[in-house]
Structure 1
């Protein structure tokens, strides 16, 4: 019986945590009319599509933070929820007139970033506690991350944040900040008490629906969750500086065609530790990867790639898998500058394959040694200068049997 109850509880918890939006109900026990709302500011009942003063219950997914106000335009002191309430208490039940939805700052690995909101941190270099702030006015930061607490900022492309020294947008202002700031200057470090966040004039504004990206054999990374925001396409290869490749934007969500694998690493040049490995679409990448992944690999995983990726090593005349390409199956290529073959500058190696390049024909001269991973640009001494090649399948030594 205890195991059955535990199973039910786990199932319920999983179903709630999987909800991508906060759910509001007009009757207790999650009944009546409903509205599903993502992160943002809802200044009156018309914006959350329920009758004024009608909300009685709220389902709050893990990682969300909900502020309920009894006045329009989020005036007054809010009732704050970070967990579901099947029946709101007196004073706020059937009294809600405006709502703000942000993110809890104590569970960053579970939070969502649907619109590329600004991420604020309590320590320099994006450390300490953090909170996501979607576009809107924040007359006090006390209930969001704390007044006089912000030390660094992650700002997605097309967004602006203004910090104010005092609550209600009074006192000295930073003016418009549009790019990441690793450590606010002495005057502003741990000084801000209110903030405004909005889209830059002429900058990117979230579309009403995710743009259609054709499955052309490349992955697509979006700046926001749920495939919203600026789209960046990446073919198979190694990306040693992901932040530069993404133009310092977050990796909010990812579309991955069948047969490809994506790995994120915590340091440039695939150093540090493996932060995440994906082989299928991910509507919301966990936030520690969104803003902190430093390098990335994209490679064929041996799945449904249409056959070409697993027929052999794919060689390219240009670096970064550009230019003309040919597929070299297992075998010896005594002169790759003839018979329609090419001398590579980069190549992709499917799992289980190896390639070795030689500086002279007939597998002679200086050798690169056997290489079993993608190379986005060969060294100058061999780039475009190889004269012969050998492609083999890797052999796996059987594990010795233990003596019985």
Structure 2
């Protein structure tokens, strides 16, 4: 009887350890050193205006569980340039020791808080407030003005921008796939070299908005409604 109780106790302990391990794996974990080494801290689904536990400005790698995404920012309060991640990063290069705040959320789930939908069209930006993309670094080469709104495809400018001028009060969100899909990069200021973020010649769609306006949500596919087959009356 005692042996049976001991076996049951060991089984329960193993189960508790397994549940604790799974719970830990369901959290995003930042590390101060490359290759998931050094000091680490885990973060649950939430918004972190300041990356606490000694992580702000000290992150070199991150583990992201399946089904989760992390948006990192180089300024506190979810401001500044941002980058959306859905996979483990063993070594941040451009972003090494730059992360100040972050948003952790489930893929496909609501972001805390859920952002309201932006109207489909916005009035164009006029005068010197125009967002401008360049196919050369440091605002060189051929350039193109981009009006405020959603640009699902960039046509001849696909995979072409190398630098971006962002007027004060505006935000640009870049995507590496058409239709606002894939990895995204948020810019709130002039960026003379997208290569510094690993984004040179990667942009395939983009969104331009005023910084005071709600961030647009990504468009969702519309289900196709098929007509019901006609019923035969015997």
What TM-score does the superposition give when structure 2 sets the normalisation length?
Answer: 0.40
Larger radius of gyration: 1
More helix by share: 2
Larger relative contact order (CA 8 Å, sep ≥ 6): 2
TM-score (norm 1): 0.24
